[in-house]
Every structure is written in C-alpha cells, then in structure tokens.
Amino acid sequence: MPHFEGDIDKAAMEESSSPQSSSSVVHDLEPGPAASCPPALTAHGLPNLNEMFDNDDGQFEFGELTEEEIQAATSVPEFAQSVNIPPPSAIHSSGQHTTPELMEIFYQRLFPFKDLFQWLNHFPSPTPSFTNREIAFTLQNDVYLRYQSFPTYDAMKKEVIRLNPSRFEVGPVYSANPRDRKIVRKAAFRPLEKELVFDIDMTDYDEIRTCCSGTKVCSKCWNFITVAIKVLDVALRDDFGFKHILWVFSGRRGAHAWVCDRRARELDDAKRRAVASYLEIVKGGAQTTKKVNLKRPLHPLVTRSLNILRDSFSSAILVDQDPWRAPEQEDKLLKLLPDKVLNQELKKTWEALPDQSSTSKWAYIDSLAKQGVSKSLDAKELMEGKQDVVLEYLYPRLDAEVSKHLNHLLKSPFCIHPGTGRVCVPINSARPETFDPMDVPTVSQLIDEIDEYDATHKANESSEKLADYEKTSLKPYVEYFHRFVSDLMKEELKEKRHRDQENGESLNF
C-alpha cells in the first residue's frame, strides 16, 4: 500500500482560495481499507476500460488498441452494476445541504471516477499526466490536504471514498511525483503542465447586478455568466484554435473553463498571462470610474464580442437589471459618456421626467444627440462611449490571476458545493442559454431519485440493471462529460500516432 503524504501549505492554500482551518493540521495520512468497487462489466462483450485501469501488472498502451476497441471502450455503457452498500433511504440530511453520510454515498454510487481519470490522464493506462498530478482535498473538518497523487484510477477512487472530502481540487502535473517532493532536489520538482483555466464569478458583477446580492443568484443575473461563456468560448476557439473546452458550473454562482488541448496544457506562466491579458478588457475595482479603455480602431476580438453582447444588452442589462433608474445610479452612466453638454441636458431631462426606466434613459442619449443640444458633440466619440458602456456592463469579468499561474488549483468537476449541495456539472457551451443553475440537482435530491427508482422498479427483477447515475437527473451531465473526455482521448491518440510515425520515419532515414 503506498504512503500518501499531505501538508498544510498556508501560502498555497491562500492561492487556491480553498477553505482552511487554522486549528487543524495534517502531516501524514496512511490509507485505510477502501470500500469495495463494482466488478468491471462489458457491453456486448466489448473491452471495458475499467478492466484496463484495474490491471496494474499488465499496462495497456493506446497503440495496442484498434479504433473499434477504443470507440467501444469509451462509449457510454449500456449495462452497469451498483455498489453494494446500504440503500440511500437509510441516510437523512436533516435539512442540511450536505452531510458526510450523503457525501459518502455520492462518491460510492454517483461520482464519475472513470471519466475523471480519463480526463486527467488522456490515455487508458496511467501516465505521468495522472500519476504526477496534484490533487488537493478539503476534508469534512476543513483540513486542507495538498500534494496528493495516485498511481492508478482504482487508488484514487478508494482514497476519495476513504477520506470522504467535502470537495477536492485539481492541480498541475509535476516533474516528479508530488508525494516525493521532499526527497527530490528542489529544482527537480516543478509544475510542467495543467489545463488552461478561467474563472467567472458573480462576485465581480455585484456593483452592476440589481436583482440579487451576496451569495444569491437568479435567472436574471445568471445571464452575466451565460454571456461570458458565449464570448470567451468563441474567442478561445477562433483566436487560439482550442477545441477541447469544458465549462463547469461552480455549484452556486459562477463557472469555470478548462481548456484541455495539449497546446493549452503545456503553456508556461508567461504564455498564460498573455492569453489572460488578451481576453481581459474590463479592468479595475469598484472604485474605478471607467473600467474599459480601448484604442480605436477596435481589435477584432472586441468587435466580435460587441456583436454578441448587443443581442443581450437590452434584455439582460436595460430590462432585467435596470441599473440607472434611480437618480444616484444614473450618474454612473453619465460619467461614461464623453460630452459634458449632452450629459447636462440628459440630467435635466431625466429630472423633469422622474422614475424613467433604464431603457428610456438609454434611448434619450441618441434622441437628444440628434436634436443638436450640444454643438461640441462628436458623433463618433458618442458611439464609442456607448460601445464602452456595453462592454463595461456585459463583457466577461475575469479573475485573471486564476488563469495566469500553472500551479493554481481549481475545484474538480462533479464536486458538491457545500453551501448549496448542488453538483458542479458541465455546461454545454454550444447552448449555454439553456442552462439553469436552479435546475442543477443537489446531492440529497439525487439520492432520493435513486431511492424512488429502485422502489418503482423493484417488482420487475428482469429489468435492465443501470448504473446509479442513470437513475437520476445527473445522467445527461455525466454523459456530456463522457463524450467530451472520449473526444479528447481520441485526439490524443491521433497525435501520439502521428508523433510515433514521424519518429519512425526519422529513424528509418
């Protein structure tokens, strides 16, 4: 049994924005007995990747598999078997969002460990992309455990079930096993690769949104996240050529993007800073009057983004948020417009017609401008000023520091948010407007759904056995993640074969 070592690293904890407990210290953990895992199953007699993962003695390489075998191995299984543990009905949440008992059932019966392993590893059998990958756990007592790593898929699954963390985070792939960092030369232990990540959090929109505040979120303010996904996803694909971009709900009021292409994973800190700076347009804190300051003519990124934002500005900002209805709020808009005389006339008009909506006040800008109330007005500057307003209120607000550093840790997909009990599920970036954070299942809801399904189908013993996630509303999210991971693995296989062919031709030459 391998020895897993965990440290409390204060600076690293602050960097990863994970909960910590000042009174809790963990130095070393020795894995205990893990819960039993279901036997590997096959559909129609085809290869099953679980068998490959659990075979530590005979390691498989992608090159040994045919395209048909890979397709079969990475397809969604038609049959599966549940873990043999007490029924979910034995656990009650007592009104809490999560409990250790609920989390234990979730990890044993619902968490997609196989797909998570494939996602981090990129191949069926363990590679350094997985074995040298840092995993950090937040335990139920808020102890934060860093520098965990695992030799196999099975070892990771057993240890997660044993520790039963409230959440866990994914870090970089290191040049050496993170467990050995204290016995290797300091210069020999460094981060080599990690997915390029982005974090969009509603906190950064608090000065704009009027529908909610604090930790609350509704469909109106969720539009900020929807628009951010649309803008950033197309920029990452069109401007950088990335293809494998996974968007994940944070569990409460935000979203994370994981860019998983090999080119993205291998970016160093300087290149990550360059990508983040390229995408960052809204800059400055709450005390900054004007957060968008662009040179003209506009960069194609900005022009394309404006075309996306215009479709949502009227509904998401003017109607849903109505940010300038109150007199003290309308001053924020006037400070962003370039002509002082026009601003004075707008102020007079709005005072004479109190309680005007933001839609009405926005329309008055063009109306008074056309009336010629300001002889010094430059129509082009006014147009540019209005463009800046649209960008300031609706362009994605990035937590750029998350993207700039290779060693940053980010919460794993399919973790449970402790404050809401909701699962951190993937978001379909092709249709982000269809995602509703209020519809995302909670851990207690999922366990109730298993109970309900089992009770309904108990009489029919001959019915097809399903994996527990297939009995719940988590099913479409797991299957979306599975397809994403399968596509990523297939591309990695093609690249590997291409490299092997090039190396073979070089040797033959």
Domain CATH number, residue 401: 3.90.920.10
- In this structure, the answer to whether residues 260 and 333 fall within a common structural domain is no
Q: DSSP code of 440?
A: S
pLDDT on residue 307: 96
Judgement on whether residues 270 and 298 belong to the same structural domain of the protein: no
Check if 134 is active-site. yes
User: Are residues 309 and 231 in contact, defined by beta-carbon separation less than 8 angstroms?
Assistant: yes
Asked if residue 409 is part of any domain, the answer here is: yes
Q: How high does pLDDT run on average in the chain?
A: 84
| Contact in structure between 138 and 168 (CB atoms under 8 Å) | yes
For the chain, helix, strand, coil in percent to 5 are 45, 10, 45
Task: Please determine, for residue 80, whether its predicted confidence score (pLDDT) is greater than 90.
Answer: no
What would the pLDDT profile of 152-191 be if each residue is shown by its tens digit? 999 999 999 999 999 999 999 999 999 999 999 999 999 9
Q: Is-contact 384 302, C-beta < 8 A? A: no
pLDDT band at 465, cuts 50/70/90? confident
pLDDT at 4 over 50: no
Q: What is the DSSP code string of 42-57?
A: -STT---HHHHHH-SS
- Percentage of the chain modeled with pLDDT above 90: 72
Q: In three state form, how does the secondary structure of 254-277 look?
A: EEEEEECCHHHHCCCHHHHHHHHH
* Predicted pLDDT of residue 504: 66
Residues 56-74 have a mean pLDDT of: 41
What residues make up the domain containing 360?
Answer: 283-394
The whole-number pLDDT of residue 459 equals: 60
Q: Specify the pLDDT at position 63.
A: 39
Residue 31: inside a domain: no
Annotated active-site residue in 201, 320, 392, 449: 201
Does position 104 have pLDDT exceeding 90, yes or no?
yes
354 preceded by a cis bond (ω within 30 of 0): no
Cα(411)–Cα(403) distance, integer angstroms = 14
CB 17 within 8 A of CB 138: no
Predicted pLDDT at 414: 98
Domain match, 288 and 385 both: yes
The pLDDT tens digits of the residues spanning 276-326 come to: 999 999 998 878 889 999 999 999 999 999 999 998 999 999 999 999 999
Instruction: Give the C-alpha separation, 408 to 196, whole Å.
Output: 10
Which of 410, 433, 456 corresponds to the end of one domain?
Answer: 433
Q: Find out whether 174 and 190 touch, Cβ atoms under 8 Å.
A: yes
pLDDT given for residue 461 in this prediction: 60
Q: Is-catalytic flag, 384? A: no
289/388 same-domain check: yes
Evaluate whether residue 34 is within a structural domain: no
The answer as to whether 462 is a domain residue is no
Find the angle CA(24)-CA(30)-CA(109) to the nearest 5 degrees.
90
Residues 269 and 314 in one domain: no
Same domain? For 272 and 287 the reply is no
The whole-number pLDDT of residue 286 equals 78
Catalytic residue check, 30: no
Of the chain, the percentage scoring pLDDT greater than 70 comes to 79
Tell me, yes or no, whether 456 lies in a domain.
no
> Domain check: are 230 and 214 in the same one?
yes
- pLDDT (0 to 100) of residue 5: 38
pTM of the model: 0.82
Indicate if 425 and 381 belong to the same structural domain: no
Residue 496 within a domain: no
Interval 371-421: pLDDT, tens: 999 999 999 999 999 999 999 999 999 999 999 999 999 999 999 999 999
Asked if the model's pLDDT at residue 57 lies above 70, the reply is: no
| Total number of domains in the chain | 2
Is the residue at 53 inside a domain?
A: no
Out of 7, 134, 233, 388, pick the active-site residue. 134
Q: Which of 344, 379, 394 is the last residue of a domain?
A: 394
> Which one of 338, 363, 394 terminates a domain?
394
Specify the range with the lowest mean pLDDT, choosing from 24-38, 234-248, 327-341, 399-413. Answer: 24-38
Q: Are 290 and 379 in the same domain?
A: yes
Residues 373 and 400 in one domain: no
Is a pLDDT exceeding 80 seen at residue 136?
yes
The answer to whether residue 234 is domain-embedded is: yes
Supply the pLDDT for residue 505.
61
Please give the C-alpha separations between residue 138 and each of 13, 16, 64, 392, 448, in angstroms, as whole numbers: 10, 11, 38, 36, 25
Residues 288, 379: one domain? yes
- Are 205 and 292 part of one and the same domain? no
199, 233, 388, 468: which one is catalytic? 199
